[in-house]
Amino acid sequence: MESQLHVRRRALLASATLPALTGCSATDLVNALTSSRGVNREEGQPYGPGPRHRLDLYRPQDLSESAPLLVFVYGGAWRSGGRADYAFMGLSLARLGCLVAIPDYRLWPESRFPDFVEDTAMAVRHLAAQMPGRRCVLMGHSAGAFNAACVALDPRWGSQGMVGGFIGLAGPYDFAASEVTPPAIFSGLPRIQAAPERLRAGQTPPLLLIHGEADTVVGPYHSRIMTERARAAGVPVQHLTRPGMGHLGVVTALAEPARWLGLADAAVHEALAEFLFRPPPHPSHPGHAANR
């Protein structure tokens, strides 16, 4: 049976992370619980012409030349979210030893598909130009995983060749517009797919797909089907499912407060670190070998 202390810790973490990830003012609490020690934060760097074309960069003070660049694209159903809300992710991920970028992107109702995907691709191109030779890994949660998957897996967005890996956290990858609220976010498209019908070995970067089995917001079948497609195409893919984990749990598992409260899922943390620093081969990007 769980100790009373563990129960209280779990309740504290839930109260801190759930409002934070849904855009409430308690974001300040979970960010305040995350130390900035050893990480320099560079805020509001422009990557495009619009007011939402800004990103925050988290740079460990002991960053190595061979460390990867991790671009985290937050979720919010394409209707909400901001890079400042996810400072806890930038700091926690940077403490793994990688450079972390968190870009904003245009949201509904001011914008609709494909604006937010184009913004993600633009951010990748900007960062690649600023940091040539550094391996770039795209990671997204929920709606942000869709944006990131489009850019990493579909060459039509013009940035696939700059991506050395994709990490999807509880992402939707193939769905009907009617499943989105409101459906007009994907106006005129009866069905939306993040990736082409056929993934291509040697062109599609390696994938790490993580999903909670208790996710009732984005069904775990999304990651399972994408895994099956990648394997059928000969694309390197790792698929991790976590029993009892919900939609927000996969992000909570990576947050520093979860670790020092003793509530982090070690398997998620370890899979991420393994993928970032000992990635599977990507034959179409031989230059990345020097950065592993």
How many other β-carbons are positioned within 10 Å of the β-carbon of residue 287? 11
265 — pLDDT class (breaks 50, 70, 90): confident
pLDDT per position as a tens digit, 126-146: 999 999 999 999 999 999 999
Mean pLDDT of 244-255: 90
Rounded Cα distance between 224 and 211, Å, is 9
pTM of the model: 0.88
Paired strand residues for 192: 175
pLDDT at residue 201, as a whole number:
93
pLDDT per position as a tens digit, 182-231: 999 999 999 999 998 889 999 999 999 999 999 999 999 999 999 999 99
pLDDT per position as a tens digit, 115-125: 999 999 999 99
pLDDT at residue 252, as a whole number:
86
3-12, 28-37, 144-153, 198-207 — most confident range: 144-153
**Domain 4-291 CATH (choose: 3.40.50.10190, 3.40.50.1820, 3.40.50.720, 3.40.50.300):** 3.40.50.1820
Rounded Cα distance between 231 and 155, Å, is 19
